[in-house]
Amino acid sequence: MNGQSLDLSEQQLVNCVPVGSSRDNCHGNTINRALTWLSGKSQANALQAFSDMIAAAPKDDLYVGYASYYAGNAYAALGFCGYAVRMYEVVAYGELDLDATWVKAAKDHIKALNADDGAICANWD
């Protein structure tokens, strides 16, 4: 991850149960760290953290939806709109129990990226 790593050990990230912490706190901490990278224009680190968390979380974990949404933001920021749309589709059409605000935002992003004239999207793989 470009010389940076999460504050959690690899095993703690996979199990997401750090000593003295709940699973929600662990996933929340992972997302917060990834959001810090995302806001600091370190999309590759953010994507790695989101991907690791999604892979380690049970499929019905609410944080999968949040991580998918923000991973979509990171992919879009990098110009990889095909991947971004796929991540937003998890939020918009997946069987996650996300608030309607998240679902609407994901659908809005999908619509905006599909309408893009090349200003955002450099790649549709």
Q: Is the pLDDT of residue 6 over 50?
A: no
Question: For residue 41, what pLDDT is reported?
Answer: 66
Q: Locate 73 and state its tokens.
A: 């933001």
CA atoms within 13 A on the CB side of 47: 16
For the residues 45-74, what does the mean pLDDT come to? Answer: 82
- What is the spatial distance between Cα 125 and Cα 9, in angstroms, rounded to a whole number? 32
| pLDDT tens by residue, 61-98 | 778 888 898 889 889 988 999 999 999 999 999 888 88
From the list 12, 36, 38, the residue with the least C-alpha distance to 26 is 12
Question: For residue 66, what pLDDT is reported?
Answer: 85
Domains of the chain: 10-114 (1.25.40)
Q: Please, are residues 96 and 62 in contact by the beta-carbon 8 Å criterion? A: yes
Q: Locate 60 and state its tokens.
A: 């019905």
Question: For residue 104, what pLDDT is reported?
Answer: 94
Question: For residue 4, what pLDDT is reported?
Answer: 31
